[in-house]
Amino acid sequence: MAGDSAYNDDTMGSFKRELEGLIPNAFVHLVAFGGNQNNDQASGFWGMVTKQIDTVCAELKEVPELAHGFHAIGLSQGGLFLRGYVEQCNQPPIRNLVTLGAPHGGIFDTPACGDHDYFCKTFYGKFKQVVYTQHVQTNIIPGQYFKDPARLDQYYQSSTFLPAINNELEPRNATHKVRLTSLGHLVMVRYAEDEMVKPPLSSWFASLELNRTVPLRESQLYQEDWLGLRTLDENGQLHLVTFPGRHLEYNAALFARDIVPYLVQPIAQTWSWVTVLDAAMSLVF
């Protein structure tokens, strides 16, 4: 779920042009880290999520076109980090948030390695062993939303991002709920054949337990409304959408039908959009 860059004209640039074509007069702002493609790509794997989101919070305040708010799209881990933006600062505010294949409920496994890819197997095997160490939790991005149901005590004690942003820790952070319920709409898209997000229903905020995935509406997080997801749902503001295909597989017709309507709603007296396209953290806005 890391690997792309805001500087990649074939991917991020192409999607930006696609949005501009679908939404006449749209303002699409791209935020990148490090000043070049290599550094921006690396930021999707190395760093600390909360600090990166703080950087984006400060940067977006300096974009005058976004002063009245904006609609946002987050791809893969970018969707999770955009939700983090809402909960950590949300100034300027996101009006409608769309996440595509985002691991909201965390991941419990890493991408599959090829049969003969011994480096991949060795690296990820070791990664899972040390995922809750201080080094990983302050330096390796995917580890900060890794939720191992067999080690929940370590997860709650050591994970530096996901437990806080999912309001799993007591006392609950009331501000997170207030900010998330300030959204006009939260649209969460899962991919029917997603091979990257494990479990795939994490894109719909499913929670992880030993030997089972608990759907959002059966979870304690939803039932007790820790984040305001139940409030959004009961008000008709939470939308769970399924797209066919593998992780982030683009379907232009479905995107135009199911996503664009949330991006064309007016904001105050202006029209603003921001797209966060991440396969790298590239909070690619």
Which of 157, 162, 139, 243 is CA-nearest to residue 200? 243
Decide if 203 is catalytic: no
Q: Which of 43, 76, 203, 207 is catalytic?
A: 76
Q: Would you list the DSSP string of 123-147? A: HHHHHHHHTTSHHHHHHBGGGGGB-
Decide if 159 is catalytic: no
Q: Which of 4, 40, 148, 194 is catalytic?
A: 194
Q: Which of 40, 176, 247, 272 is catalytic?
A: 247
Question: Residue 85 is which amino acid?
Answer: Y
Decide if 158 is catalytic: no
Joined tokens for residue 240: 């769970």
Q: Tell whether the torsion through CA atoms of 208, 220, 98 and 137 is positive or negative.
A: negative
E strand residue ranges, the chain: 70-75, 94-100, 185-191, 207-209, 212-214, 238-243, 273-276
Taking the C-alpha atoms of residue 263 and residue 275, their distance in angstroms, rounded to an integer, is 10
Neighbouring CB atoms inside 10 A of 184's CB total 16
**Which sequence positions are flagged as catalytic?**
76, 194, 247
